[in-house]
Amino acid sequence: MSLITTPNFYQTGKRYFRDFSPNDDFYEMLIDTHRDLSDEQSNMLNAKLILLLANHIGDMDVLAEALKAAREDV
């Protein structure tokens, strides 16, 4: 597993009893955000989310690595 795909979820000030708990919390939020959307709306939400997160990350090297990792096996 590369650094880019190693889980890195946390919430400031919150302690988790299991390492995967924050990952589960994010997955649940993501599914809830897509709930009741059409396929077109869901695709638009994903596109907007990608751009918002890319802007938040801002580091071109990190973004290039993420794009490369996402493209593998597609």
The verdict on residue 64 lying in a domain is yes
pLDDT value of position 45:
98
The verdict on residue 42 lying in a domain is yes
Range of the domain at 72: 38-74
The string of pLDDT tens digits covering residues 8-62 is 665 666 676 665 565 778 889 999 999 999 999 999 999 999 999 999 989 999 8
Looking at the whole model, is its pTM more than 0.75?
Answer: no
pLDDT value of position 5:
63
The verdict on residue 32 lying in a domain is no
Give DSSP secondary structure letters for 16-31: -SSTTHHHHHHHHHHH
The verdict on residue 17 lying in a domain is no
Q: Measured between alpha carbons, how far is residue 29 from residues 24, 32, 33, 35, 73 in Å? A: 9, 5, 6, 10, 26
The strand ranges marked E within the chain are: none
The verdict on residue 67 lying in a domain is yes
The verdict on residue 29 lying in a domain is no
The distance between the two most distant Cα atoms of the chain, rounded to a whole number of Å, is 37
Task: Give the count of domains, the chain.
Answer: 1
